[in-house]
Each structure stands twice: as structure tokens, then as C-alpha cells.
């Protein structure tokens, strides 16, 4: 328990009026006193509070003026081409607050630029450097400890290749100034690299629009790593996956619970779930639906979380879709732990009863015993929306029902999953649950 907070001067606590008001309120809540050793004021009187506010106003003004002066000084130094501190770029070292070229590192920088032009891809460049055993430059922390990455990553390499510092220029707030340091890269080589990167960017954009991977840029593992589209051919058949970037960058230990998933399975599950929630009036393609409505898809150990761009359509919450892969491993779906567990007997019976109810409802509608879903809902004493959600179970493939009866289905089969992703075609239903 703190009884009193003592400072040398008021501005040693804070130089923000807003922050000080919050702190005083916090002190009052806990019956803690506040004392300044060199400044005398009494906050119990109106004059004392005015004095304190005046002191803090001047302290805040002083802080803001100092900030403006520092920013102006940095801007002036940048315009003169001076290095004003911060991480030292690869290829240089600081001597007397000035940068000098390190010959060995400068040779590595030139090699990186030349290799990129030769390989034409930052990913291929990263693999090439790792194969040659070339590692990034260690960084010296304030504590004196040195840290270094295990290998060159795509992001840092892209930043290095775009850095105009290597042609003797300094960039500040979008403006380019001539630097006082010596250039490492020839300007023609630098411009050739920029042109190549721009060309690759256009190609990636075009490839993305043609790619069948509709969740590219939207799908992540549960450790926040993007999952990129990949594929393989087996016996002439092309299988598509989404693979965690941590795996693609040889950092498997950092990947999420599920490192690789079957692209068609996830795309079908997610898009059908979004359609069921939003019920778009026009029949739009899955690609357009994903781009228009999906903010983010996260693959977790036992389910998929889908964040919508219009969360109010689902009551402000994310879609949580049960997801236990049920297709063979050869199709590229990694199981969280071994084979998928079998469906519990009680859950199986409940699912079969639900399917039987749905069939009865449809028979009543077809036979004229019920005029509408609303009438069924009134008789069953349940919501109309619930009836509409369960009704498609009446059209479930006989093979899936047979698998349920003979206890051949996994725990991934549930009412929630069936009603979210059930295709119209029996063949597609059976494929989805590994029965073909």
C-alpha cells in the first residue's frame, strides 16, 4: 500500500496535464498523498490547484518546445545529408559520429544486389544466402549484448534492396537529399534492382488475381504468421495447400498449431459459412465474396476463426467454425495430434435425431401437412431461423448417414459443421468428409 508519492519537482512525475489529472484521480481513489519537495502548493484550495495547473502547463509547454527543436534539428541534419543516429546500415560503421565503409560488409551488400538481379526473387535470394552460410550483421544493444538473426529474412532483405542510403542519399519524410557518406552501390545497379522489384510486384498482383487461392493475404496461423498458397503434384493430380510462412522460412518451431491445411477444404468451409451468415442476394463468386466480406481467417488447433468486415452481420462476433481435418493426410492436411478422434456415441445419436427431424419437416412440407417453415417453427416451439438452418440436413448423402450409423465418422462431423458447409451435391458432401 502506498501512502505518499514524493517527487523533486512536479514535472518529474509528468509533463502532461491530461496524464496528471488521471494520476491525481488514481491517488485519491487509494487515499495516497502527492508531495513536491521543492515546490509548495496546497491542492485542497482553489488557489493551490490553479498554481499546480499553471506549473504543469509550463512544464507541458517546455516539453513540446523541446520536441519541436529536436525535430527541427533532425530535419536540418537530414537536409545536410548527415547521419543522425539509429541502427547502422550493413556495410558501414560509426567513427566519430560519421559513417565509414566496412570493405567486407560492403562486398556483401554488392553481392546481395547482384544476386537479386540474377535470381529475380527475394525468397530465392534468402534461400541462396542461407545455403552459403551468410548470416545478418549482429546488433549491439544498449545493454552491451549482441543479438543476430539466424538468417536473412525476406522483409529485411526487401528493406535493404530499397534503401537509397547505399547510393549516397538520405530520405526524410518523402524527400531525398544528398548524403555526406560514401555510396556503396552504383546508381545504375540500384535502379535496375528497383525496376526488377516493381516488375515482380506487378507479376505477383497478376498471379494473385489468376490464382485459385482465394484466401491469399487473409489467412493466418494461430501465431499470427501469414499462410501462403502452395501446391504439389502426386500421380498427375495437383493438390493445393496453405502453408505457414514460418515453415516456408525454415522456422518450423515458430509456426502455429496447424502448419499446413488443405486449401479447398478451408476455402469451402469458410465461404459457405460466410454465405450462410450474410445470405447475399446476388450469386457472387467465392473470390469476390472473400475479398468483399472477410477481414481475416485464423487457423487454430480445433477450429477456424473468421473475422468479417461487417461484424454486425453476425452480432459483432467472429465466426468460429469447428475444424478437424477428415481427408487423408496425403492431401496435405496436417492433423493437430495423430488421427482424428471418433464421434462420441451420444453426439452421434443426437445428430441422427436432428437429421430425422429435418427429414420429417421436409416430408410435411412436400405432403402438405405444413404450409411453411413458420408453421413448423410454431408447432415445434422453436425459432424460424433454427428450422431454416437445420432443414438442409434432410438432403444429407445416404453414405454419410450410413457412416454415422456404423460409427465410421470422426469428431469433426457435427450439426454446426454440417449446416455451415453442406454442398448440394452428394458427391461433394462425401468428398468433404473423406468418404470418396
Instruction: List, for residues 257-307, the tens digit of each pLDDT value.
Output: 888 898 888 988 898 888 888 877 667 888 888 888 899 999 988 889 999
Of 176, 208, 240, which residue is a domain's last?
208
pLDDT digits (tens, 9 = 90+) for 334-358: 433 344 455 667 777 888 888 888 8
pLDDT of residue 236: 67
**More confidently predicted of 343 and 311:** 311
Give the residue from 263, 415, 244, 411 showing the smallest Cα distance to 271. Answer: 263
pLDDT of residue 338: 41
**How many C-beta atoms lie closer than 10 Å to residue 290's C-beta?**
21
pLDDT of residue 275: 86
Q: What is the mean pLDDT of residues 368-377?
A: 88
Q: Give Cβ neighbours of residue 317 (< 8 Å, ≥ 6 apart).
A: 311
The structural domain count of the chain equals 4
Mean pLDDT check: name the lowest of 38-42, 242-246, 347-351. 38-42
Whether residues 155 and 250 share a domain: the answer is no
Mean pLDDT check: name the lowest of 39-53, 168-182, 395-409. 39-53
Q: What is the mean pLDDT of residues 211-223?
A: 88
* Dist CA 209 CA 203 (whole Å): 10
Of 275, 306, 331, which residue is a domain's last?
331
Does 328 have pLDDT greater than 60? no
Does 54 have pLDDT greater than 80? yes
Does 410 have pLDDT greater than 60? no
Predicted TM-score (pTM) of the model is 0.50
Whether residues 226 and 146 share a domain: the answer is no
* Dist CA 267 CA 321 (whole Å): 12
pLDDT of residue 2: 86
> Is 148 inside any structural domain?
yes
Alpha-helical regions (H) of 163-210: 187-210
Mean pLDDT check: name the lowest of 15-29, 72-86, 200-214. 200-214
Mean pLDDT check: name the lowest of 60-64, 181-185, 200-204, 376-380. 200-204
Q: Give Cβ neighbours of residue 96 (< 8 Å, ≥ 6 apart).
A: none
pLDDT of residue 303: 86
Does 110 have pLDDT greater than 90? yes
Quote the domain boundaries for residue 52.
4-79
Of 331, 357, 387, which residue is a domain's last?
331
* Dist CA 344 CA 349 (whole Å): 9
> Is 245 inside any structural domain?
yes
Whether residues 298 and 377 share a domain: the answer is no
| Degrees, nearest 5: CA angle 296-300-304 | 55
> Is 86 inside any structural domain?
no
pLDDT of residue 91: 92
Amino acid at each position: 500500500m502506498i501512502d505518499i508519492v514524493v517527487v523533486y519537482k512536479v514535472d518529474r512525475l509528468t509533463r502532461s496535464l491530461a496524464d496528471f489529472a488521471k494520476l491525481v484521480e488514481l491517488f485519491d481513489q487509494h487515499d495516497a498523498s502527492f508531495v513536491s519537495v521543492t515546490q509548495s502548493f496546497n491542492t485542497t484550495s482553489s488557489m493551490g490547484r490553479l498554481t499546480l495547473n499553471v506549473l504543469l502547463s509550463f512544464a507541458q509547454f517546455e516539453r513540446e518546445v523541446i520536441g519541436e527543436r529536436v525535430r527541427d534539428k533532425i530535419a536540418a541534419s537530414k537536409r545536410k545529408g548527415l547521419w543522425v543516429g539509429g541502427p547502422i546500415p550493413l556495410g558501414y560503421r560509426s567513427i566519430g559520429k560519421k559513417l565509414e565503409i566496412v570493405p567486407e560488409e560492403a562486398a556483401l551488400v554488392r553481392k546481395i544486389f547482384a544476386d537479386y538481379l540474377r535470381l529475380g526473387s527475394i525468397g530465392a535470394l534468402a534461400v541462396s544466402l542461407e545455403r552459403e552460410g551468410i548470416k545478418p550483421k549482429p546488433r549491439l544493444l544498449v545493454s552491451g549484448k549482441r543479438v543476430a538473426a539466424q538468417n536473412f529474412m525476406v522483409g529485411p532483405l526487401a528493406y535493404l534492396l530499397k534503401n537509397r542510403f547505399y547510393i549516397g542519399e538520405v530520405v526524410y519524410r518523402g524527400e531525398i537529399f544528398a548524403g555526406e557518406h560514401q555510396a556503396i552501390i552504383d546508381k545504375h545497379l540500384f535502379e535496375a534492382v528497383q525496376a526488377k522489384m516493381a516488375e515482380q510486384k506487378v507479376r505477383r498482383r497478376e498471379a494473385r488475381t489468376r490464382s485459385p487461392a482465394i484466401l491469399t493475404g487473409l489467412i493466418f496461423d494461430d501465431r499470427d504468421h501469414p499462410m501462403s498458397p502452395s501446391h504439389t503434384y502426386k500421380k498427375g493430380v495437383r493438390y493445393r495447400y496453405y502453408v505457414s510462412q514460418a515453415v516456408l522460412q525454415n522456422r518450423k518451431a515458430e509456426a502455429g498449431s496447424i502448419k499446413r491445411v488443405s486449401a479447398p477444404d478451408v476455402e469451402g468451409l469458410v465461404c459457405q459459412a460466410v454465405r450462410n451468415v450474410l445470405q447475399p442476394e446476388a450469386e457472387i463468386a467465392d473470390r469476390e465474396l472473400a475479398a468483399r466480406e472477410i477481414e481475416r481467417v485464423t487457423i487454430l488447433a480445433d477450429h477456424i476463426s473468421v473475422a468479417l468486415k461487417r461484424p454486425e452481420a453476425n452480432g459483432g462476433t467472429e465466426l468460429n467454425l469447428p475444424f478437424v481435418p477428415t481427408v487423408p493426410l496425403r492431401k496435405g492436411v496436417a492433423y493437430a495430434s495423430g488421427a482424428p478422434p471418433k464421434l462420441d456415441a451420444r453426439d452421434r445419436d443426437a445428430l441422427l435425431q436432428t437429421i430425422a427431424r429435418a427429414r420429417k419437416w421436409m416430408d410435411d412440407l412436400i405432403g402438405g401437412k405444413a404450409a411453411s417453415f413458420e408453421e413448423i417453427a410454431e408447432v415445434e416451439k422453436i425459432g424460424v431461423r433454427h428450422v431454416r438452418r437445420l432443414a438442409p440436413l434432410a438432403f444429407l448423402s445416404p453414405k454419410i448417414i450410413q457412416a454415422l450409423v456404423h460409427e465410421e465418422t470422426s469428431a469433426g462431423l457435427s450439426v454446426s459443421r454440417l449446416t455451415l458447409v453442406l454442398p448440394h451435391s452428394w458427391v461433394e458432401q462425401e468428398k468433404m468428409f473423406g468418404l470418396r
